[in-house]
């Protein structure tokens, strides 16, 4: 309970990341306090995460209000991981799990391609610098939406007011999502 209290304190400080691993019964299996911008998975937990059938849910915070990172999503390649969820300090929530077309052997390649293509599909040319910056910060969210549209992952997000660029640039974001999703569907074919 002391570690959980320390984790809550880290979350409230707004600086450090904290990881909570929960078993399929919802019981807390591990609490790990990280540093600014990241939290490392301890080797003992990583061994469990690599074991098929464990169904561990990983919950952590993102102090900077960013969507699931590539490091977060790559945890889904571990056979014992059921889902990955991030909660931002501003209340935004992001949750990903393996979808019907998920293939752990190819996921890193497809994810890297999606991350590389996302800024191109957002077509930032001509936008004011502050809007360009806001949209670049939303690249992780765009990638997750496109991966979900392709059936590679299951994805849910609840955005906060800090993500207003999605409303201001709705047509641009939807077009980028559709275009990137089409590329990923083509890459996924029968299964990713």
CA max distance for the chain: 52
> Which three-class secondary structure state does DSSP give residue 50?
coil
pLDDT at 147: 96
SS3 sequence of 121-144:
HHCCCCCCHHHHHHHHHCHHHHHH
pTM score, whole prediction: 0.88
Distance (Å, whole) CA 19 – CA 165: 28
Place of tokens 């590539």: 70
Cα separation, 66 vs 43, whole angstroms: 26
pLDDT in tens for each of the 192 residues of the chain? 444 555 555 555 557 889 999 999 999 988 888 888 789 999 999 999 999 999 999 999 888 778 899 999 999 999 999 999 999 888 889 999 999 999 999 999 999 999 999 988 888 888 888 888 888 888 899 999 999 999 999 999 998 877 788 778 888 889 998 999 999 988 876 444
Whole-angstrom distance, CA of residue 54 vs CA of residue 48: 7
């Amino acid at each position: 309970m002391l570690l959980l209290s320390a984790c809550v304190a880290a979350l409230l400080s707004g600086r450090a990341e904290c990881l909570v691993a929960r078993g399929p019964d919802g019981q807390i299996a591990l609490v790990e306090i990280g540093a600014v911008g990241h939290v490392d998975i301890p080797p003992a937990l990583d061994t469990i995460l690599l074991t098929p059938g464990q169904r561990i849910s990983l919950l952590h915070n993102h102090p900077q209000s960013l969507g699931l990172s590539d490091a977060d999503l790559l945890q889904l390649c571990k056979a014992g991981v059921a889902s990955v969820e991030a909660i931002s300090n501003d209340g935004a929530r992001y949750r990903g799990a393996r979808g019907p077309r998920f293939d752990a052997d190819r996921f890193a390649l497809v994810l890297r391609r999606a991350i590389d293509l996302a800024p191109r599909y957002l077509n930032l040319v001509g936008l004011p610098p502050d809007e360009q910056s806001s949209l670049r910060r939303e690249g992780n969210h765009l990638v997750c939406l496109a991966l979900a549209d392709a059936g590679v992952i299951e994805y849910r997000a609840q955005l906060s007011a800090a993500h207003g660029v999605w409303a201001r640039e709705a047509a641009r974001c939807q077009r980028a999502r559709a275009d990137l999703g089409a590329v990923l569907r083509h890459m996924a074919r029968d299964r990713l």
